[in-house]
Structure 1
Amino acid sequence: MNLELSEEQDALRRTAAEFVDREIVPHAAAWDRAEEIDRSVIGRLGDLGFLGMTLPEEYGGSEGDHLAYCLVLEELGRGDSAVRGVVSVSLGLVGKSIASYGTDEQKRAWLPRIASGASIACFALTEPGTGSDAANLTTRAVRDGDDWIITGNKMFITNGTWADVALVFARSGGEGHRGISAFLVPTDEPGFEARVIHGKLGLRGQATAELVLDGVRVPDSARLAPEGKGFSVAMAALAKGRMSVAAGCVGIAQGCLDAAVGYAKEREQFGKPIASRQLVQELLAGISLDVDAARLLTWRVADLIDRGLPFATESSKAKLFASEAAVRAANDALQVFGGYGYIDEYPVGKYLRDARVMTLYEGTSQIHKLLIGRALTGVNAF
């Protein structure tokens, strides 16, 4: 793996960093308090090509490699994970799934709009009763002539109240993962309702929702991939999506390091900057190690994807480590700030709240340990 960025990649990272510092960082605390980011930022993400990364140019994408994608998500995670989540889901989970499995008609209909930010997509897999056990989802899709009628509930859906299209996973056949199909459902169809979820601990600016599908009718042309292959679509999307989450967590940890180092050099106690204290330096060193380790694990996944090599286990390792590292980094940065870290005038409290959910979604830390264990032993512990 080449650890040196190309000129193009380095320029893209600088562009992303400048955008984040100018357009996101000054507003992140206010968006967090209001529980909603300014939706105009979506169009600006599209203008920069950040919502079309890795997508084919013929469908409005900006192409590029997955390492470049990670670099942008690191910067967005540093600025506000609520914004990073919009990109990770609309582009990472849905856009890339359409690019991989969609018909030409589906690609023409949705990819240019997703890449420009004109349309936002959500990934409707999780249900109130099935989180980690996604293969046993209960939302049903019943065939009716040339149409499908979809009925069920989805929970904790990122972009749910903003989305123009939902990638919905529903049971079209028997029990287990082989009975699941995937459908591209326009959210303005009759019977589709999105209910915003307020009062979250973190990611407060993100549009998180419960989805209710009450007899939503879509044509068979809305089905993504062959019937019964929906679970494969979901797992393939999540394998890459875990890299997206890991990259965002690297950004959180980097933001924590930057903030803690800056504060430690400025804050004086007993006549000296607290950066001169051994135990403060220990905290900073630990955050720095976590940043580097998480970044390299994440970049390894991007490198494997770009070279067409297996990456699922490495993606689990990156997501597991980076999410836990982000929590540690935020907690240690708050310790450096002391009481001031507990006030939302400073960023580390928000970093801690945003980091905590990263150990839960797109596979809990415990699930990823089982996935890694299965890869090591060949024994399924589920």
Structure 2
Amino acid sequence: MRDEVVMIGLIAAVVLIALYWTLLYRGVSLSVFTAVTAVAIAALWAVGILGPVGVTIVAVLFAIPAIAFNVVPLRRNLLTKRLYTVFRKILPEMGQTEKDAIEAGEVWWEGEMFRGRPNWNQLLDFKLTELTAKEQAFLDNETETLCSMIDDWEVNFERKDLPEEVWNYIRGNNFLAMLIPENMGGLGFSAYGQSCVVAKIATRSLTAAVTVMVPNSLGPGELLTHYGTKEQQDRWLPGLASGKELPCFALTGVEVGSDAAQMPDRGIVCKRQIDGEEVLGLSLTFNKRYITLAPVATVMGLAFKLKDPDGLLGDPNTVDYGITCALLPTDTPGVNIGRRHFPGAVFMNGPIHGEDVFVPIDSIIGGKEKAGKGWRMLVECLSAGRGISLPALSTATGKGMYGITSAYSRIRRQFGTEIGNFEGVREGLGVIGGYAYILENVRNLTASAVDHCTPSVVTAMIKYHSTEMMRTVINHAMDIHSGRGIIMGPRNYLAAAYQALPVAITVEGANVMTRSLMIFGQGAIRCHPYVLSEMEAAHSDNFDKGLKDFDKLLFSHIGYTVNRMVRSFTLGITGSRLAKAPVDNEMSDYYKHMERFSAALAFSADLSMGSLGGALKLKESTSARLGDVLSHLYMASATLKAFEVNGPTEEDKVHAQWAMEYHLHEIENAFFEFARNYPIKGLRGVLKAVALPTGRKFAGPSDEINAKLCDQMQAMSLDSAFGKRMSYDIYIGQGENDPTGRLMGAFNKLQEVDAFYGDFLRGVKKGEIAGEVLEDQLADAVANNKLDETQAQKIREYDRLRYDVLLTDDFSKEYLVNPNSEEGRKAEHAEQAELRKVS
């Protein structure tokens, strides 16, 4: 009998544990949880496990917290009021620039990945932007023509500038007005359309790409379009759209980079006598640097701190208005502009100075009503532009290196075989291929998102990760090309991108800041379903209303945190088998694992914010690792989306598997380092148990999958569906005098001889084909019926192209000393042409 009682008790305990675990896993409401508990107590009494005394004790113990937590007015007075009072006191005040940065833009798919239970239909139903007929025509015609006009060696080494005819073509064909609506004289392109144009130009010349990119990313055109008055739009937009006006925007200064709150540039509201009339305006004093297009700009946007000490704007109680944006001609008296910086790429970039520069009050973008609203305007425009321009540059580099490095790895032979067959080379080549595929998917998804909303957190994470991937891709490409990549000259298609790489890394804030402060710092508040609302409630001037809102948010937040903890642990110990995938294909398991990691991120973020509070802002490595998790969840989502849209081609299966194995490996590593180094040692075990209860399972792409990827890269046809997707916005030069044309011409000819060229080389190596030089070897092969004359001629043609690809440039001493001499350039170019004939 005693054994039966014990057994019944154990069964009841197991049932209750399973019941409550299920309730917590599903995330039921407090009222449902309470009702189920009441039913459970009644059931225990009904089956005799609890007697009258026991049920009374349990009921009383249960009733007290049940009433306290479920009767909302009682709960607010007994518990929440005390917590709310403390929270209001300890919550630090948020500066206006920080507040504007957090509130700018919108939360999109990254919010789903942050919150632990992603609604996959939101991703799968989202429609990627497609090029319109007008955008496609512009990409195929004007953009192609622009690329064909550019000699990047001439731009970077000889002129240190774009030729005048290129400048005129850019200005005359609306390249600087892609985002300006058509009814205002611009092209009115989508974000995705702009991205494709910038990407294609970048595969030809980073200098030209930056020149086109910046006015379409952050500049007077965008600010006027979104915030300008009708008078300002009518005055400036036609000239900006036609190219008559060249814009720049002056934001960064000597004393301040990313910390805009410390901006020393000032604008004082005052009155001046102008042509005998009293004019209300601004006295501007500023010192800016790193301003793209400044040396050639005709109109400048300017960010400064506005002060109105005499109340001339109509509010005598406000002196400090904060960051404001104004628009003024660069020939305004007192503006010192025209000198150049010399960044890694030779695009126009330079400083701007001004002291007591007077402009009328209507120079404020948006008019007096926008005084002090400049930082919010800038952050929103930067967020959108960041999602277009830098991913475009990075993707262009990734896809460009994908094509040229895989082609070169087949053309270049060492030790009797193509270097692309060496495992050491394939390690780097696979990374180039995997990253290029990831970058293309992320670029497409993010640009499409910008066409629908203003996703601020997404664009920050993609700025960081896309440019870091670009850094890795270029480094691997340089390693594989070896000496071929370091000798400067017209033949070198790598050096300019390698030299200009730091520009992308540092623009719009150095990557170390973007990763450590922006991604999770903004994402944790914006993506979280409760934190921002709790902060707003705590800052409420109405104590009673704030308390009421805070109470509701707090207890929803507690339930949310417990649910994500239980979900993460449960999915972790079951290998994510309890998660549901929205598709049934090769990617199904990856969806399940991502849901598990999403839940782990939600819990880890909550525990971090709860245990570290405001100190989390200073724990940059901790927040950066959580930001890495969120970023890789988003980037993996882009691959899953692309796989569903494009269909499971053989190339997509291999590339997508490589990408997903890479992302999940990076996520696990980020969680591992996060838990191992968490500032509060007592919580490290909890974090590891919830995020990685069975340890790390993803080791990254295997050698086998990497080898498959490399094989596909080296056999890639631009006529295949996959090849077209990877090259539709890539510029490939034409002819043997073009650096990429020379390489791709040789690669195409290699594919023509592939069927018999390998046998021919093996025959030579084994001594089955005689001859010391190629002509003798071909003659012997034809004579012994190992090749026919047509095949021999094709090998002869390929070998000439192959040798030409391997050559590097050399110059006269006089030319290197003075490359800007027109006469010297012509002489050097003529000599180079003769050398090509000889070789």
TM-score normalized with structure 2 length: 0.43
The equivalent of 1:327 in structure 2 is 471
Cα distance in 2 between the residues matched to 1:368 and 1:347? 29
The equivalent of 1:279 in structure 2 is 424
2:457 and 2:523 in contact (8 A); partners too: no
Q: Name the stretch that deviates more: 50-59 or 206-215.
A: 50-59
Cα distance in 2 between the residues matched to 1:70 and 1:55? 15
Cα distance in 2 between the residues matched to 1:238 and 1:4? 20
**Counterpart check, 1:58 vs 2:183:** yes
1:91 and 1:115 in contact (8 A); partners too: no
1:89 and 1:123 in contact (8 A); partners too: no
Cα distance in 2 between the residues matched to 1:208 and 1:7? 33
- SS of alignment partner, residue 161 of structure 1: helix
- SS of alignment partner, residue 217 of structure 2: helix
Matches within 5 A, 1:1-382: 1-3=126-128, 5-6=130-131, 8=133, 9-15=135-141, 18-24=144-150, 27-33=151-157, 34-94=159-219, 95-145=221-271, 146-173=280-307, 179-200=322-343, 202-204=344-346, 206-225=347-366, 226-243=370-387, 244-307=389-452, 309-345=453-489, 346-369=492-515, 370-378=517-525, 381=617
2:240 and 2:246 in contact (8 A); partners too: yes
Number of residue equivalences = 376
Indicate how the Cα distance of structure 1 residues 21 and 159 shifts in structure 2: closer, same or farther if over 3 A, else same. Answer: closer
- SS of alignment partner, residue 93 of structure 1: coil
Deviation of the 1:227 alpha carbon: 0.5
Cα distance in 2 between the residues matched to 1:4 and 1:161? 35
Flag the structure with larger Rg: 2
Deviation of the 1:73 alpha carbon: 1.0
Cα distance in 2 between the residues matched to 1:301 and 1:147? 40
1:3-35 CA-partner distances (Å, limit 9, x unpaired)? 5844635444433662354122xx112211132
Cα distance in 2 between the residues matched to 1:296 and 1:318? 11
1:30-86 CA-partner distances (Å, limit 9, x unpaired)? 211132222432332344433222321121111121111111111122222221222
Deviation of the 1:195 alpha carbon: 4.6
Cα distance in 1 between the residues matched to 2:129 and 2:455? 21
Indicate how the Cα distance of structure 1 residues 292 and 298 shifts in structure 2: closer, same or farther if over 3 A, else same. Answer: same
The equivalent of 2:573 in structure 1 is none
Cα distance in 2 between the residues matched to 1:287 and 1:16? 29
Identity %: 24
- Letter paired with 1:28: D
- Letter paired with 2:395: V
Cα distance in 2 between the residues matched to 1:277 and 1:55? 50
The equivalent of 2:736 in structure 1 is none
- SS of alignment partner, residue 172 of structure 1: strand
- Letter paired with 2:153: A
Cα distance in 1 between the residues matched to 2:131 and 2:352? 42
- Letter paired with 1:304: A
Deviation of the 1:214 alpha carbon: 1.9
- SS of alignment partner, residue 179 of structure 1: strand
- Letter paired with 1:231: W
Cα distance in 1 between the residues matched to 2:139 and 2:468? 24
- Letter paired with 1:160: A
Indicate how the Cα distance of structure 1 residues 335 and 178 shifts in structure 2: closer, same or farther if over 3 A, else same. Answer: farther
Please identify which structure carries the higher helix content.
2
Deviation of the 1:193 alpha carbon: 1.1
1:350-371 CA-partner distances (Å, limit 9, x unpaired)? 1111122211111221222222
1:168 and 1:184 in contact (8 A); partners too: yes
1:118-176 CA-partner distances (Å, limit 9, x unpaired)? 2211110000010011222111111122111111100111101011111100111399x
1:155 and 1:209 in contact (8 A); partners too: yes
Deviation of the 1:197 alpha carbon: 3.3
2:301 and 2:327 in contact (8 A); partners too: yes
Q: Name the stretch that deviates more: 124-133 or 368-377.
A: 368-377
- Letter paired with 2:345: L
Deviation of the 1:199 alpha carbon: 4.0
1:172 and 1:181 in contact (8 A); partners too: yes
- Letter paired with 2:286: G
- Letter paired with 2:361: D
- Letter paired with 2:471: V
- SS of alignment partner, residue 51 of structure 1: helix
- SS of alignment partner, residue 177 of structure 2: coil
Q: Name the stretch that deviates more: 185-194 or 232-241.
A: 232-241
- Letter paired with 2:445: R
Deviation of the 1:249 alpha carbon: 1.9
- Letter paired with 1:68: G
Q: Name the stretch that deviates more: 7-16 or 60-69.
A: 7-16
2:307 and 2:322 in contact (8 A); partners too: yes
Please identify which structure carries the higher strand content.
1
- Letter paired with 2:524: T
Cα distance in 1 between the residues matched to 2:233 and 2:413? 57
The equivalent of 2:748 in structure 1 is none
Higher relative contact order (CA 8 A, sep 6+): 1
Cα distance in 1 between the residues matched to 2:238 and 2:132? 27
Indicate how the Cα distance of structure 1 residues 257 and 82 shifts in structure 2: closer, same or farther if over 3 A, else same. Answer: same
1:148 and 1:220 in contact (8 A); partners too: yes
Q: Name the stretch that deviates more: 10-19 or 345-354.
A: 10-19
- Letter paired with 1:354: A
Cα distance in 2 between the residues matched to 1:170 and 1:103? 19
- SS of alignment partner, residue 54 of structure 1: coil
Cα distance in 2 between the residues matched to 1:286 and 1:46? 38
Cα distance in 2 between the residues matched to 1:267 and 1:257? 16
Cα distance in 1 between the residues matched to 2:352 and 2:495? 30
CA RMSD of aligned residues (A): 2.2
Cα distance in 2 between the residues matched to 1:14 and 1:324? 29
1:230-287 CA-partner distances (Å, limit 9, x unpaired)? 1112112211221212212211222222322232222221222222323223322211
2:131 and 2:193 in contact (8 A); partners too: no
2:155 and 2:161 in contact (8 A); partners too: yes
1:20 and 1:75 in contact (8 A); partners too: no
- SS of alignment partner, residue 110 of structure 1: helix
Q: Which runs of 5+ in 1 are unaligned?
A: none
2:179 and 2:216 in contact (8 A); partners too: no
